[in-house]
Amino acid sequence: MLFVLKNRTYRHLFLAQVISLLGTGLATVALGLQAFELADGNAGMVLGTALAIRMIANVVVAPIATAFTEQFPRRAMLVTLDLIRAAVALCLPFITGIWQVYILIFLLQAASAAFTPTFQATIPDVLPDEDDYTNALSLSRLAYDLEKVGSPLLAATLLALMSYHNLYLGTVVGFLASASLVVSVLLPDPKPGEPRSIYDRTTRGIRLYLTVPRLRGLFALNLAVAAGGSMVFVNTVVLVQGALGLGERYTAMALAAFGLGSMLAALLLPGLLKKIDDRPAMLTGTVVLVAALLVGLFTASYAGLIVVWAIIGVGYSLVLTPSGRILRRSAAPEERPALFAAQFALSHGCWLITYPLAGWFGVTAGIPATYLGLAIITALGATIAALLWPGSEEDDCHVHRNLSPDHPHLAGAKAVSGGHEHAHPIRKDCYHA
């Protein structure tokens, strides 16, 4: 997996991703603590609303940004977005009102929502070999998991020495370092594709996404994992500092327990997926999430909370990690950037629903009802996924009549009357209408 880091351009991009993730993680911890200070007993509702605003930015900005990726030099775009994120993060320690939190969070996440699809669309061009690209996706997943552990642990260490307001300075440094790493390499400009309207470029990925059965199932799984994850991201500070009366470092350590569970599952999955298919592994992850949420109903101690959070992390990673494999299987290489952007937008649309629910349930109905409500949503998402995604997917045998014999997609195809015949998993793209 690590040999792809020999590629200097990818190595710098990967380091930029890791550093910016650490900075974003510090901001997430600081935001929870700031919401607790500004809103007191309504911290869960404020944090849930702030996170929902982040999701709105992701859902709205990501498809539009992907549509315009081909119009601007990638390096200039990535660096500009990093500088915008650094400037917004620099303002966060000085806010005094909840409405200011909401405005700055939207600006910060709008820049991130433009940055992420652009970054993802760049990697296949930097690593054109399919095996290299697959390893890069695995490293990216591991980076997200390590961030869930590293950022809270780093935050816990820093909080022993300084106020939580200073954590935002780490976020600023992370974005500036990311910009410096991107500046240090030359990035391939996107190849111009067929002329398409803005509407077509913006909606292409989502239209492809919603036509393949396994991707419709993945959409439902996104809802399930969002419900389980929202309990952790919205209510950790409420449970640790509100219900249990513990300090800020304990909040960071609880988030780290979730990250450790997620990382453990990510490390075990490559071996597991050699023995079972993606679908049973991901559905098992939803079962783990439901079980953990139900156990949380009867958990009243900090030690119990740590265990529940770690188990939720395991289920979370079991669902999310194989999703990239599902996307790659469902479209031709030239369609994948749009498909990954669709996954980014649609999955965050699910978080847009579950984040405010986790906060509002906690304030109006209490934590036990929140556990139960989110467990029901998780189980519903898993059930819909099992119904939409067939249990056994046979390769689709079909004939291409309009592609030249030397077209890359026809490698290994058999010549038949009027075209070339081959079989592969069902996909929807420009070759398979």
Residue type, 338: A
Please, which residues have CB within 8 angstroms of residue 226's CB and are 6 or more apart in sequence?
Answer: 347, 350, 351, 353, 354, 355
Residue with token string 């935001």: 31
pLDDT tens digit at each of 433 positions of the chain: 567 788 888 888 888 888 888 887 788 778 777 777 777 666 667 777 777 787 788 788 777 776 666 667 778 888 988 999 899 888 888 877 777 878 888 888 888 877 877 787 777 778 777 567 667 766 776 777 677 667 777 777 788 787 777 888 888 888 899 999 999 988 876 555 555 666 676 777 788 778 888 889 999 999 999 999 999 988 898 899 888 888 878 888 888 889 888 888 877 877 787 788 889 999 999 999 999 999 998 988 999 999 999 999 999 989 988 887 787 777 766 677 677 778 888 888 888 888 888 988 888 888 899 999 999 999 999 999 999 887 765 566 667 777 777 776 667 778 777 777 776 666 655 565 6
Q: DSSP letter at 194?
A: S
Residue 259 near residue 147, CB atoms below 8 Å: yes
DSSP class per residue in 1-69: -GGGGGSHHHHHHHHHHHHHHHHHHHHHHHHHHHHHHHHGGGHHHHHHHHHHHHHHHHHHHHHHHHHHG
CATH among 2.60.40.10, 3.10.620.30, 1.20.1250.20, 3.40.50.150 for 7-388: 1.20.1250.20
Backbone angles phi, psi at 274, to 5 degrees: -80, -15
Q: Is 218 exposed, middle or buried (0-12, 13-18, 19+ CB in 10 A)?
A: buried
**Residue 397 in 3-state DSSP?**
strand
d(CA 143, CA 303): 27
Residue 115 near residue 82, CB atoms below 8 Å: yes
Backbone angles phi, psi at 136, to 5 degrees: -65, -40
What pLDDT was estimated at residue 248?
A: 77
| Per-position b or e across 303-324, b if 16+ CB within 10 A of its CB | eebbbbbbbbbbbbbbbbbbbb
Residue type, 23: G
Q: DSSP letter at 158?
A: H
What pLDDT was estimated at residue 296?
A: 92
Residue 12 near residue 185, CB atoms below 8 Å: yes
Residue type, 100: Q
d(CA 158, CA 237): 17
Residue 315 near residue 228, CB atoms below 8 Å: yes
- The H or E element that residue 395 is part of is none
Integer CA distances (angstroms), 126 to 50, 82, 121, in order? 35, 20, 9
Q: Is 65 exposed, middle or buried (0-12, 13-18, 19+ CB in 10 A)?
A: buried
